[in-house]
Amino acid sequence: MTAFNHRFDPTSLREYDIRGIVGETLKPEDAFAIGRCFGSIVSRGQNGEKGGTKVAVGYDGRLSSPELEAQLVAGLRACGLEVLRIGCGPTPMLYFASYALKADGAIMVTGSHNPPNYNGFKMMLGKKPFFGPQIQQIGRMAAEGDVVPAAVGTDRQVDVSEDYITRMMQDWDGGDRALKVVWDPGNGSGAEITKRMVARLPGTHYVINGTIDGTFPAHHPDPTVAKNLEQIIAEVAKNGADLGIAFDGDADRIGVVDNEGHILFGDQLLIVLARDVLKSKPGGTIIADVKASQVLFDEVAKAGGTPLMWKTGHSLIKSKMAETGSPLAGEMSGHIFFADKWYGFDDAPYSAIRLLGIVARMEGKLSEVRAALPQVINTPELRFDCPDTRKFDVVAEVKARLAAEGAKVQDVDGVRVLTEDGWWLLRASNTQAVLVARAEASSEAGLERLKAGIAKQLQASGLAAPDFTGENAGH
């Protein structure tokens, strides 16, 4: 029998997952190799522990996902493992399945919020995210043929969808108040679950784009982009709804609009959720990524919590939650992680149920809560091209210059510079050849000074300043 050997396109091995363009940087043989290598890691066991025997696998609604899932399963079976195939659904349902089925590992075939021609793989080993050096390890194992001897495993279909919905509904705490809610799963893999979930909730629910369609005919499945929320905002207005809830392509990220059609950004949503969680978890550590508003950290402290700023990236946040015992965390990108009653993974349908419970118990409207938050002016997340070979060096150069100037800097992830006007951030993306910048101030004049600070530092490193003409987000 021919020895196993495979080389991945190096651009597909990312920080948090494996992802690429189908037919170009990601092919069916890559899926088989991922199964063969990840399966070998599971089978061998880690840190002296006995090897595992079961891996759960799910896939999203992309047109390429069924073929990639089949090849992935074949690779896992070739390691002698039992593969539990949960079928098409949201990524968090796969995470749930790994707990419910006591799997030793889990892999989701998903392109997340990328365009339709992308796909990828998100992984869990045991109860922990599989990322960073572990993903590079997959690449090395494949190139060296470092896998367990070929064996004959098994696979079976397991439908966990009913258990998943039932378990989420256990944490519904909104009573019988009849809210009006518009839902937009964006034709993503959370669409069917959304329709079944809302059938169990009190109130009136309008589901748009509720058919799984890997071409995403209505709009791109990324609820952090305001343009993708225009349809749900219009539906909220038309139906006089209390709020609207949108999911990304694999339903691990959430977008929210209030009854007035205003977007609640990730950090604003986290404030609403944190205030509620801290009632039962006083003093709890609430984690947010480095892109979040200072208003969030201040409001968490005001509500009796311990705010913690951490690195951007869902795997990094999950690991920090486990380390600190945090009951709740979130990112600007809409990943929300509950660990007070839930499992600590990012789950948009579950986060929606918890948010609706809070809104149902409110005396006023969600728009009133949003409007009462301290008002600041900030830029959207500005992303601009910078070669992978240069992006981290640029951040290091900026950091060194700021240190020489005596600037006040938080360097948990890139550089977040604090001034009398507010703060600005520059960090390297872990997943793309881009730098990310953001700024927040209490006045327009202050924001202009912060933007000038970013431009000055970039020019000192030989880069053009980002385009600041994007509309400033007031929140």
Strands 306-310 and 285-289 turn out to be parallel
3-state secondary structure of 354: helix
Task: Identify which has the larger pLDDT, 470 or 218.
Answer: 218
Distance (Å, whole) CA 389 – CA 20: 19
Average pLDDT over residues 165-181: 96
Active-site residue set: 112
Express each pLDDT in 4-43 by its tens digit: 999 999 999 998 899 999 999 999 999 999 999 999 999 9
3-state secondary structure of 43: helix
Average pLDDT over residues 455-459: 94
In one-letter notation, the amino acid at residue 165 is I
Cβ–Cβ under 8 Å, residues 257 and 233: yes
Average pLDDT over residues 451-455: 95
Express each pLDDT in 411-430 by its tens digit: 999 999 999 999 999 999 88
Express each pLDDT in 101-151 by its tens digit: 999 999 999 999 889 999 999 999 999 999 999 999 999 999 999 999 999
pLDDT at 227 over 80: yes
Q: How confident is the model at residue 324 (pLDDT cuts 50, 70, 90)?
A: very high
Residues 426, 430, 431, 437: what is their CA dihedral angle, to the nearest 10 degrees?
-10
On the CB side of 434, CA atoms within 13 Å amount to 10
Pick the CATH number of 377-474 from 3.40.50.1970, 3.30.310.50, 3.40.630.30, 3.90.180.10: 3.30.310.50
Nearest to 57 by CA among 204, 156, 193: 156
**CATH 3.40.120.10, the chain: domain bounds:** 10-159, 163-372
Distance (Å, whole) CA 417 – CA 411: 9
Express each pLDDT in 326-359 by its tens digit: 999 999 999 999 999 999 999 999 999 999 999 9
pLDDT attached to residue 472: 45
Pure H helices in 307-406: 314-324, 348-361, 366-372, 388-405
Q: How confident is the model at residue 2 (pLDDT cuts 50, 70, 90)?
A: low
Express each pLDDT in 191-210 by its tens digit: 999 999 999 999 999 999 99
Residues 6+ apart with CB under 8 A from 109: 31, 57, 58, 59, 60, 65, 68, 69, 72, 119, 120, 121
**CATH 3.30.310.50, the chain: domain bounds:** 377-474
pLDDT attached to residue 149: 96
Under CATH, domain 10-159 is a member of which superfamily?
Answer: Alpha-D-Glucose-1,6-Bisphosphate, subunit A, domain 3 (3.40.120.10)
DSSP 112: T
Distance (Å, whole) CA 326 – CA 337: 9
Distance (Å, whole) CA 194 – CA 197: 5
pLDDT, averaged across the chain: 95
In this structure, which topology does domain 163-372 adopt according to CATH? Alpha-D-Glucose-1,6-Bisphosphate; Chain A, domain 3 (3.40.120)
Q: For the chain, give the percent of residues with pLDDT over 70.
A: 98
Size (the chain), residues? 475
Cβ–Cβ under 8 Å, residues 291 and 312: yes
Task: Identify which has the larger pLDDT, 24 or 469.
Answer: 24
Cβ–Cβ under 8 Å, residues 185 and 209: yes
Average pLDDT over residues 293-318: 96
Burial class of residue 215 in the structure, from the number of CB atoms within 10 Å of its CB (0-12 exposed, 13-18 middle, 19+ buried): exposed
Distance (Å, whole) CA 360 – CA 88: 31
Residues 6+ apart with CB under 8 A from 330: 266, 267, 269, 270, 273, 287, 288, 289, 292, 336, 337
Task: Identify which has the larger pLDDT, 10 or 475.
Answer: 10
pLDDT attached to residue 474: 45
* E strand residue ranges, 168-212: 180-184, 204-207
Token pair belonging to 87:
């079928």
Q: Among positive and negative, which fits the CA dihedral 286, 331, 348, 275?
A: positive
